[in-house]
Amino acid sequence: MTKTAPPVRRTSLAATPQRKIMLAVLLVDTIAAGAFYPLTFLYLKLSTELPVGQIGLILTGGGVVALALNPLAGSAADRWGAQRTIVLANLLCGLGYLGLVDIHGWPQLVLAVSLISLSQRLYWVGWPVFVSEQVAEGETLDRWFAVVNAFKSAALGIGAGAAAVILAVGDTGTMRMFLIAAVLASFLSAAVFFRLRMNPRDGAAGSGKDGGTDAAAAGPVGPGGTEHTGGADGTGTGRKDGADGADGGWRTVLRDRPYVAMTAAHTALTFAWLLPSVVLPVYFVDTLGLPPWLPSVSFALNTAMIVLLQTTVTRSLGTLRRTRAVLAGACAFLLAFAVFAGADAVPRAAAVVLALAGIVLFSLGEMSAGPPAQSLSIEAAPVPLRGRYSSVFQTSWTISNVGGPAIAGALLQWHSLGLWLVLGTLVGLGGLGFLACERRFPAHVLHSEAQKGDT
């Protein structure tokens, strides 16, 4: 039997005062974090008497702590709700940054870094779940994630510009001033988010069909108001989203082999996102001998493309299954890697052109793969357990962020071509991994709401 999906809205997602406030809080909070976070190591070096090696060890330990705290963040989101989890994340982040204002020894630094690490886990686990609760009937989760991604990119770009100003000044007092601004932004975001009351129509779980605003109250209805009954072709493991899943807790999550396999594929794919901040600055300047301004221009180009084109790219890929949109993004990444590798074999002027062309391809890969992968991670999760599922999926970012810099550094020191071969292998396996998971997920999970007319 054929049923018609509600028409997809083309109006602004900031159609209500509550949504405007939500996006404004997102912008302010991310600008503050984007301004200070890149300067953390330098600030600690200048403002403390701790050895550089000890500072690096403490910050690395923070990444390990973040990995260990992922399950706690998932349980918190399921138990307290996504919005309260985000409030707690902002409070802990403000306390952590406050602990860095005037440091008296390494124990205080360890505590502050641990609070910041916990806040990041709570934030990144809670945000996708909260966004999924805002999708009203006729809107798509993919478009929501596209808009959020564009907003975050704009905020990070502004924050990076502020960080450049701080570096130009170069004194500890200016850095501390921006640190205090980050503290105030975190506490302000927590207060505003605590008082924010989203319209129930804007806060429908999943695809907006359940009509509730609380994940725990969603009952036995799965994402999009349906049950998991099989794969896209009528096969697959199939599971029912409901009370049984909620009672199973972490056992349900870890036994969900298709979801775990998708997370593994996404982990391989996330290594591509290390390029702008970790790989390309060293590769462009040290390996290729290109002008030192090129990394900054590349970052600006990448940011501008995401801000201006993210929603357009997401809409243009809306006719594809989400797994295939991710694969398309992986293919764009691979083309970018080939262009970057080829820049090592041409004259300097041509290498600059290839570097910028590679950034364009890389940005298209980001915009193609990001929103559908995030949407799939939420839609494939039972509503009562979306916090735990989100924490498992977000682990992929933590793994690449912790291990990626060391791997990239070792490969750059060994051979630049080896870097692109390894990254290409990881990204290729990630894209193919999503495609392999396609038969294991129900059809309604693989498509955005715009294509659920025939189910």
In a domain, 325, yes or no: yes
Residues 178 and 286 in one domain: no
Residues 231 and 161 in one domain: no
Q: Which residues of 386-419 are buried (b: 16+ CB within 10 A; e: fewer)?
A: bbbbbbbbbbbbbbbbeebbebbeebbeeebeeb
Residues 441 and 372 in one domain: yes
| 103's tokens | 């440091």
In a domain, 299, yes or no: yes
Residues 168 and 251 in one domain: no
Element (H, E) at 122: helix 106-132
Q: How many beta carbons lie within 10 A of that of residue 282, not counting itself?
A: 17
- Look at residue 449 in the predicted model and tell me its pLDDT: 59
In a domain, 181, yes or no: yes
d(CA 227, CA 221): 6
Per-10-residue mean pLDDT, the chain, length 455: 47 69 82 74 81 81 77 89 92 92 87 87 89 78 88 84 75 83 90 77 39 34 35 39 56 92 96 90 90 90 93 92 96 97 94 96 96 94 92 90 84 88 96 93 80 46
- Look at residue 117 in the predicted model and tell me its pLDDT: 85
Phi, psi for 172 (deg, rounded to 5): -65, -35
Q: How many beta carbons lie within 10 A of that of residue 111, not counting itself?
A: 13
Q: How many beta carbons lie within 10 A of that of residue 218, not counting itself?
A: 25
CB-CB contact of 317 with 303 (8 Å): no
Residues 156 and 250 in one domain: no
d(CA 334, CA 274): 14
Residues 171 and 256 in one domain: no
In a domain, 2, yes or no: no
pLDDT tens sequence across 371-384: 999 999 999 999 89
Expressed as residue numbers, the domain containing 173 is 17-195
| 164's tokens | 């450049």
Domain termination residue (choose one: 150, 174, 195): 195
- Look at residue 92 in the predicted model and tell me its pLDDT: 93
Q: The domain that contains 340 carries what CATH number?
A: 1.20.1250.20
| 406's tokens | 């060391």
Residues 99 and 33 in one domain: yes
Domain termination residue (choose one: 195, 211, 233): 195
Q: How many beta carbons lie within 10 A of that of residue 10, not counting itself?
A: 9
In a domain, 112, yes or no: yes
In a domain, 103, yes or no: yes
Task: Look at the chain and report how many structural domains it folds into.
Answer: 2
**By CB neighbour count within 10 A (0-12 exposed, 13-18 middle, 19+ buried), where does 435 fall?**
middle
| 37's tokens | 């976070």
Q: Which residues of 64-100 are buried (b: 16+ CB within 10 A; e: fewer)?
A: ebbbebbbebbbbbbebbbbbbbbbbbbbbbbbbbbb
Residues 186 and 229 in one domain: no
In a domain, 238, yes or no: yes
Residues 243 and 175 in one domain: no
d(CA 278, CA 176): 25
Inter-residue long-range contacts of 389-392, CB under 8 Å, 24+ positions, other chains counted: 389/74, 389/253, 389/256, 389/259, 390/74, 390/77, 390/125, 390/126, 390/128, 390/129, 391/70, 391/71, 391/73, 391/74, 391/75, 391/77, 391/121, 391/125, 392/70, 392/74, 392/253, 392/259, 392/260, 392/263
- Look at residue 196 in the predicted model and tell me its pLDDT: 83
Residues 306 and 377 in one domain: yes
For the packed helices 257-270 and 386-414, what is the interaxial angle rounded to 10 degrees? 40
Residues 27 and 120 in one domain: yes
DSSP string, 372-441: HHHHHHHHTS-GGGHHHHHHHHHHHHHHHHHHHHHHHHHHHHH-HHHHHHHHHHHHHHHHHHHHHHGGGS
d(CA 291, CA 285): 6
CB-CB contact of 175 with 47 (8 Å): yes
Element (H, E) at 359: helix 348-379
pTM score, two decimals? Answer: 0.82
d(CA 201, CA 193): 18
| 230's tokens | 């099989």
- Look at residue 345 in the predicted model and tell me its pLDDT: 92
Residues 247 and 129 in one domain: no
d(CA 251, CA 191): 35
Report the length, in residues, of the chain: 455
d(CA 81, CA 78): 6
In a domain, 344, yes or no: yes
Domain termination residue (choose one: 174, 195, 216): 195
d(CA 83, CA 86): 5
